[in-house]
Amino acid sequence: MKIHEYQAKQLMAARGIAVPSGVAVTTVAEAVGAVRSLIESTGNPVVVVKAQIHAGGRGKGRFKEHPDVAGVNVVTDGIRGGVEAAEEQVRHLAARMLRSTLVTIQTGDEGKQVNHLYVEQGIDIARELYLSVLLDRAVSRNIVMASTEGGMEIEKVAAETPDKILRETVDPAIGLAGFQAARLGFGLELTGDAHRNFVKFVTALTSLAVELDTDLVEINPLVITTDGRVMALDGKMAFDDSGLFRHPDVEEMRDESEEDPAELEAKAVGLSYIKLDGTIGCLVNGAGLAMATMDTIKHVGGEPANFLDVGGGADADQVAAGFRIITRDPNVKGIFVNIFGGIMRCDVIASGVVQAVRDVGLEVPLVVRLEGTNVEEGRRIIEESGLDVISAVDMKDGAEKIVELAK
């Protein structure tokens, strides 16, 4: 699960991690109302208006309805014109940003509607850095990554100048050691107060990642202010869904308007569904079999359109619901049902597939491979259904057939 920047900063601030002052708003009036208090409390006449969506690249993004407006706007009108001038410019921006569609490099051409803005105090920036805490599943540990190239896309930095990315592996028993934090600070060429403040900052951020079961905490840019403070100018957090039951305060931050409706629908009926970019719809039981099925599809030249796991205890209605979700994806050119019946019975899967096809129709090829508990009954249900279904003898056979038929 992802959360908005302003929510990430709330979690950081609650743990003593320095972030700029800001106010999350949903109306133009609220945006204007936030300006005076920010300027008067901080003494800085500059404010920043940021669109809040679950996608990066907002600074370079543009609104479909207002191409001259970016996703992040620095308002300097208050320097010469005072608070009233800043308020008027924020009013102008907020009226165009709220409920408009922001297109960034990560949203695709369809963009995302902006329902929240974050009005934040301006910061006197001396340097911009990059800092993240990433769960590396290959080593089952958090990795702290830092770079002097703040504000840049870290993927581009990794590809073009990998030597500029510093890494420290966090021992889960002791956390980030003091010498590791100090080494990162020296690697970023920090000295004096900036170095001391960075060591405290990165140590606290790593503790936050462990405490909240995050997959990723990313700050880009992390800024060093002109007076040596270290502050998160941006904030991105993603959480392991399996750990959310331990963090109800984080779960309450879920913004369903930012999530894929199909994934929410699947979750509501107890299925695990993740949309992908390919053309072969997959309906399987068990995460391991789902991964193996997707690998096999790719091995024979296809691309999976989704990950849909009906699990081990689904009934025919749940299977039918999953099938409907897959068929609604316009990118799906063929469907592969690959079931190994253990606890899950093949006749239940077959009944669900038949029910769904009769309800919604079938406009793409369907290949079904059934094996395991009640397989004969499952095959009988499919064969006697009168549906145009192609049978497969094993997973590779099924993958080859559906990839060929979907061309």
Closest CA to 72 of 12, 23, 119, 105: 119
- Which candidate in 218, 258, 273, 400 is catalytic? 218
Burial class (CB in 10 A: 0-12, 13-18, 19+), 80: exposed
State how far the Cα of 267 lies from the Cα of 159, in Å rounded to an integer.
36
Is 149 designated active site?
Answer: no
**Got the DSSP string for 224-292?**
EETTS-EEESS-EEEE-GGGGGG-HHHHTT--GGGS-HHHHHHHHTT-EEEE-SSSEEEEESSHHHHHH
State how far the Cα of 176 lies from the Cα of 407, in Å rounded to an integer.
51
Q: Is-contact 176 168, C-beta < 8 A?
A: yes
Is 130 designated active site?
Answer: yes
- Which candidate in 6, 87, 118, 130 is catalytic? 130
Burial class (CB in 10 A: 0-12, 13-18, 19+), 38: buried
Annotated catalytic sites, by residue? 130, 218
